[in-house]
Amino acid sequence: MTTIKKISTYLLGQDQIFVKIESSEPGLIGWGSAAFAGHHKLIAISVDKYLTDFLVGKEVTEIEDIWQTSQVQSSWRNDPALNCALSAIDQALWDIKGKEVGKSVVDLIGGRSRKAVPVLTKIEKNLDSGLVAEVAKFRKEGIQYFLINPKMDSKAVTYGKQIVEVFSKLRSEFGEEVYFAHDFDGRLAPTEALAVVKRLEEFHPFFLEDVFPPEHIDWHLAMRMQTKVPMATGKRFVNPHEWLNVIPQMAIDVVRCNISAIGGFSQALKVGHYAAPISIRTSWSAGELQSPIESVATGHLSLNLLLSGPQEWSKPASQITDVVDGLPELKDGYLYFNAKPGFGLEISEQSLSLLPS
């Protein structure tokens, strides 16, 4: 029986928390990571003060039981900080399991349904600040999918005019072979948002995200009756009852959960399998602070799930690549992940700052 022997937390930079789990089997360790913008210390506290004593001594193979019991032991369930902490723990346990049996994590969940994962690149420039040139630059790298999020005026009339101009210009420059999405971020009143969506129909958006705040399921259903433009939501989800409600009503076309925010790899796998039978795709969200092991774990989901769409991803900074070896290779707009055991990563532990427990 292989058990959890020790859990350590590390800090990289200002916001990246790494978690190392050492098992009772000498040399068998697993790594996970998570980021929670501006609140990284809460992740470390959740791991060190609430989860470590509870988890040490448990069998490393009991990943599902560990997740469930860790979640329900607290009176404050589905808290974003706790979910991020659980996500890092969950990643580390899957990493250990893969190394223990000599298999890549994606092979443990059924293997690959594709060889590589298409990239969704987020661009926040405006037309007058180099948006077209930025898209053209990424097109030379083979990128086909773009999340276009220029800074917008929050007034509905101006917002609509601006985003229509953006899509019109992008379509005239790049034609129909490039896929453009946009995140409304719930900034407009529902009827105002619906009017803007109708104006965007002719430009065939790949998807429109959070046209309404995610809790407005009835408005999502009303939108479904008004337009054929694909709708997406999920990046703000932290509680399973959020996606349990919106998916079966077929109010959206794309689930955009962030795997750390919902509690990790194990939870995200459930979301993907729940959505697929009714043809709802996943396109995992990743903020600018997405942690590297989390990003790779997300990639393993995208490799496996048949209805995975493009994965939001940005080129990691040298701060990351100097510490993490084995990250995916970007080639012609696709991410290629190695097939080494676990998540296939090597962590330079000496480059991390150990956080006191």
> In degrees rounded to 5, what are phi and psi of residue 273?
-70, -30
User: What is the model's pLDDT at position 71?
Assistant: 87
Residue 87's nearest CA partner among 346, 311, 294 is 294
* pLDDT tens per residue, range 110-157: 999 999 999 999 999 989 889 999 999 999 999 999 999 988 776 767
Q: What is the pLDDT of residue 289?
A: 65
In CATH terms, 4-103+347-354 corresponds, of 1.10.760.10, 3.40.1390.20, 3.30.390.10, 3.40.50.300, to 3.30.390.10
CA atoms within 13 A on the CB side of 93: 25
What's the burial of 356, exposed, middle or buried (CB within 10 Å: 0-12/13-18/19+)? exposed
Residue 287 has pLDDT above 80, yes or no: no
Under 8 Å between Cβ of 308 and 279:
no
Say how far apart CA 355 and CA 83 lie, in whole Å. Answer: 19
What HEC string does 17-60 produce? EEEEEEECCCCCEEEEEEECCCCHHHHHHHHHHHHHHHHCCCEC
Asked if pLDDT for residue 224 goes beyond 90, the answer is no
pLDDT, tens digit, 9 for 90 and up, residues 16-68? 899 999 999 999 999 999 887 767 788 888 899 889 999 999 999 999 999 99
The CATH superfamily of 108-343 is Enolase-like C-terminal domain (3.20.20.120)
Q: Structure pTM?
A: 0.94
**Can you give the pLDDT at residue 306?**
93
Domain boundaries, given as residue ranges, for the chain: 4-103+347-354, 108-343
**With pLDDT > 90 as the criterion, what percentage of the chain qualifies?**
69
- Condensed to tens digits (0 to 9), the pLDDT of residues 303-322 reads 999 999 999 998 888 888 99
On average, the pLDDT of the chain sits at 92
